[in-house]
Amino acid sequence: MSARALWLAFRSGLGGRQAFSTKGSGRITVEVIEHLERLALVDFGSREAVARLEKAIAFADRLREVDTDGVEPMESVLEDRCLYLRSDNVAEGNCAEELLQNSRQVVEEYFVAPPGNISLPKLGEQESFQHS
Amino acid sequence: MLCPPTGVLNRRCVEAAVMTGLALNCHINKKSLFDRKHYFYSDLPAGYQITQQRLPIAANGSLTYGVFMGNKQSRMATKTVRIRQIQLEQDSGKSLHDDLRSQTLIDLNRAGVGLLEVVLEPDLCCGEEAAAVIKELQLILQALGTSQANMAEGQLRVDANISVHHPGEPLGVRTEVKNLNSIRFLAKAIDHEIQRQINELESGGEILNETRSFDCKLGCTVPMRDKEGKQDYRFMPEPNLPPLVLYDSASLPAGTESQQVINIDQIRDALPELPSATRERLVRRYGMLPEHSFTLLNEVGLLQFFQNVMKETRAEPKKVTSWVLNTLLGYLKHHNLAVSESPVTSSALAELLDLLDSKAISSAAAKQVFEELWKGEAKSAAQVVSEKQLELMQDREALEQLCQSTMEGHPQVVTDMKSGNPRAINKLIGLVRKATLNRADPAEIKDILERLSS
C-alpha cells in the first residue's frame, strides 16, 4: 500500500456510516454487550473485557476529529483494482469424498448438523458469565 | 491479489445479471459493490454470505404483466410492478430437516454458487397478482436463457413479504413467507397469510415481524423455527473483492483483455425477443386478442405448435388460433397432457384445417375428425374423413333436390316458415341434414331453403 493510499484511508475514515455507535460518554450498556455476544458468539466474560472494548471504541472515535466534508468515502482499499472475472468453465471439483472426511458424522453425502440453531438462554435466565 | 477462500466471480453471472437487469428495464450500475451479510446457520459454513446490499448491479426497473379479469378469465388487464434492485450473491448450502432423528442434513454442493436476487417493491395486492408476476418473470428468464426458472427444482426460489394496512395508512408489520415451491402454492400462501393477518388484527392481536413457512398439507403458514426476531446481519464491505466495474461502448477502455470486460451495450444489442414483444408480434401479425397471446406463451410448447400449424396450413390465423386455444388446449387440459404429449400433431391439425378451409368438410365434421385423430392411431385427417364418409356433398344440384323433396314432404312446416316462424326453418334444415347423413353445410341448406321458398 502506498503512502498516498494510506493518507486517503485516514482522511475518509468512518464518516457518518458506522454500524455501531456508543452512548453517552462511551460507557456501553449491558444490553449492547448481550446483543453483541449473541450476534458474534463471543463471550466478553469480564468487566476488563468490556473496558477494553470501550477503550477500543474511544480510540477509533478519534477518527471523527478528521474533517471529511466533501470527501467521498473509500469503500475498499482495492478500489483501484479490477475485479477478476473467471470464465464459465469447470476447473475443479469432484472431491466430495475428501471434503466429507472433514466431518465427524455424515449420512450418505450429507453433513450432519443439530436440528437447528441452539438458542442462547434468554436475557435474565442466563447464569452470570463472570469467569476470569 | 484475491484471497482464495473468498471465491472468484464467474463472468457468466455478471452477464446474466446485466441481461436480466436490461430485460426488467433497470438502471445498470456501472460500479457495484460487494458486502458480507453475517448470520449463523449450519448451511452457511463461512458464517457470512457475500451479497450486494449497498450498491447492487441493477436498480429501479419494472415488470409489466397481465392479469385475467372476471370470472371467465376472458379479459386481460396490464399491470406493472416496480423492481427495487437486482443483486449478485452467493448461495448457501441446502438443509434437510430430519425431525425423526433430531438432526439436520446439510448438502453443500450449491454453497458458494452465484445467485441473482430480484427484489420487487410492494406493489402487489393478492396471490393472483404475485402468481402472474412470477409467471412473467419465468418466461423472461427462459427467453433470456439465464434460468429455466423451474420452481419445483429450486431453479427459481420465491420468498413473499406480506403486510396489511388500512388505505391511506403506512404499511403494516410484514412477515416473510418461505418454502414456496410452486406458483399455485405461492398464490395460496399469500392469500392465506393476508387473511390471517387481517383476522389477527381485527381480533385485537398484533403481527410479529417473523419468518413463516408455507405448509402445503395444512394449506396455511406456520412460524419457522430458528428465524425468530429481527436479525442484525452486521453488513460490512467485502474486504476481498474490489468494486465490479461495467462498461458501455463509450467508456470501454482501450487495450484491455476482452475476457475481463463487460460491455452493457453489447449485451443489450444481443438480447433475444422478450415475451411481451413476442405477444405484441402475435397480436399484430395474426389479429388475435391479447388474452390469446398470453395463453399461447403460458403453455409450454403451445406457441411452437401454433407456429408449426400456421406454417403448414392455408387456413386463416383466426381459425388456427381458435382450434389451437379452444379445441386442442381443451382436450389437453381434459386429459392432463402437455403439448409435447399431444396425440394430434401440428401437421395433422394443419391438414384438418385445410380440409375445413376448402369446404371439403363442415365444422361439425371437423370436430369429429379431431376426436378420431386424438385416438392417436396414426391416421391422417383425410383418411378419417373418407373412412367415416364425412365429406360435404359437393353436388349442389343434388342438395337442392333434397331440399325440394323435403319441403314437399312437410307442407305444414313450409307454411310456418313462410309466416316467419324461425323454428320452422331450423326443423327443415335438421330434416335435410339427416337426409344427407350430415354431409351438408347447414348454412348452405338454409340458403337453398330460403331461396326455394321465396
Q: Dihedrals φ, ψ of B269, to 5°?
A: -65, -30
Specify the residue for cell string 400456421. Answer: B310
Task: Determine the straight-line distance between the first and last CA of chain B, rounded to whole angstroms.
Answer: 97
Q: Please determine, for residue B58, whether its predicted confidence score (pLDDT) is greater than 50.
A: yes
Interchain contact A99–B (C-beta under 8 A) = yes
A25-73 pLDDT, tens digit each: 457 888 888 888 877 778 888 888 889 999 999 999 999 999 999 998 8
Residue among B322, B324, B394, B397 at smallest CA distance from B361 = B394
C-alpha B432/C-alpha B402 separation (Å) is 7
For residue B29, the distance in angstroms to the closest alpha carbon of chain A comes to 15
Beta bridge partners of B49: B37
Q: Angle at the Cα of A76 (from A75 to A81), degrees rounded to 5? A: 130
Task: Break chain B down into helix, strand, coil percent, rounded to 5.
Answer: 45, 20, 40
Name every residue whose Cβ is closer than 8 Å to that of residue A91 and which is 6 or more positions away in sequence. Answer: none
Q: How far is CA B324 from CA A125, B268, B302, in A?
A: 68, 34, 8
Query: Regarding beta strands A85-86 and B9-10, do their DSSP bridges make them parallel or antiparallel, or are they unpaired?
Result: parallel
Interchain pair A84, B2: CB under 8 A = yes
Q: How many helices (H) and strands (E) does chain A have?
A: 4, 3
Helix, strand or coil, per DSSP, at residue A47: helix
C-alpha A71/C-alpha A11 separation (Å) is 8
B7-44 pLDDT, tens digit each: 789 999 999 999 999 999 999 999 999 999 998 889 99
Within 10 angstroms of residue B364's Cβ, the number of other Cβ atoms is: 12
Q: What is the pTM of this model?
A: 0.81
Residues of B in contact with A114 (CB under 8 A): 42, 102-104
Interchain pair B2, A114: CB under 8 A = no
Interchain pair B232, A84: CB under 8 A = no
Listed in sequence order, the DSSP H helices in A24-113 are: 30-40, 47-61, 96-100
**Which cell goes with B357?**
378451409
Helix, strand or coil, per DSSP, at residue B2: coil
For residue A40, the distance in angstroms to the closest alpha carbon of chain B comes to 8
Interchain contact A110–B (C-beta under 8 A) = yes
Which residue from B minimizes the CA distance to A103?
B106
* Mutation choice for A interface testing from B108, B110, B228 by most A CBs within 10 A: B108
Residues of B in contact with A97 (CB under 8 A): none
Interhelix angle B411-418/B396-409, rounded to 10 degrees, is 100
Interchain pair B243, A112: CB under 8 A = no
Residues of B in contact with A35 (CB under 8 A): 232
Interchain pair A86, B10: CB under 8 A = yes
For residue A128, the distance in angstroms to the closest alpha carbon of chain B comes to 23
Q: Please determine, for residue B180, whether its predicted confidence score (pLDDT) is greater than 50.
A: yes
Interchain contact A83–B (C-beta under 8 A) = yes
Among partner residues B99, B106, B236, which is closest to A110 by beta-carbon distance?
A: B106
Residues of B in contact with A112 (CB under 8 A): 103-106
Interchain contact A10–B (C-beta under 8 A) = no
Interchain contact A104–B (C-beta under 8 A) = no
Among partner residues A35, A77, A110, which is closest to B105 by beta-carbon distance?
A: A110
For residue A119, the distance in angstroms to the closest alpha carbon of chain B comes to 8
Contact B9, B49 (CB under 8 A): no
C-alpha B272/C-alpha B145 separation (Å) is 9
**Which cell goes with B95?**
438443509
* Mutation choice for A interface testing from B54, B57, B260 by most A CBs within 10 A: B260
ipTM of the complex: 0.71
Residues of A in contact with B240 (CB under 8 A): 78
Q: Please determine, for residue A2, whether its predicted confidence score (pLDDT) is greater than 50.
A: no
Tally A–B CB contacts below 8 A. 102
Among partner residues B40, B236, B260, which is closest to A85 by beta-carbon distance?
A: B260
User: Binning pLDDT at 50, 70 and 90, where does residue A121 land?
Assistant: low
pLDDT at A124: 52
Specify the residue for cell string 408489520. Answer: B173
Among partner residues B38, B239, B244, which is closest to A83 by beta-carbon distance?
A: B244
Q: Please determine, for residue A4, whether its predicted confidence score (pLDDT) is greater than 60.
A: no
B60-72 pLDDT, tens digit each: 999 999 998 776 6
Q: Please determine, for residue A11, whether its predicted confidence score (pLDDT) is greater than 70.
A: no
Residue among B215, B26, B207, B258 at smallest CA distance from B120 = B26
* Range from B176-180, B263-267, B330-334, B428-432 carrying the lowest mean pLDDT: B428-432
Residue of A116 and B201 predicted with greater confidence: B201
Sketch out chain B's domains with CATH numbers: 11-146+223-237 (no CATH), 275-388 (no CATH), 396-453 (1.10.10)
Which residue from A minimizes the CA distance to B109?
A96
Specify the residue for cell string 452493457. Answer: B264
User: Binning pLDDT at 50, 70 and 90, where does residue A10 land?
Assistant: very low
Where is B331: in which H helix or E strand?
Answer: helix B329-334
**Which cell goes with A90?**
469447470
Mean pLDDT of B138-150: 96
Interchain contact A91–B (C-beta under 8 A) = no
Q: What ranges do the domains of chain A cover?
A: 22-66
C-alpha B376/C-alpha B216 separation (Å) is 37
For residue A110, the distance in angstroms to the closest alpha carbon of chain B comes to 5
Q: How far is CA B202 from CA B98, B198, B206, B219, in A?
A: 37, 6, 9, 21
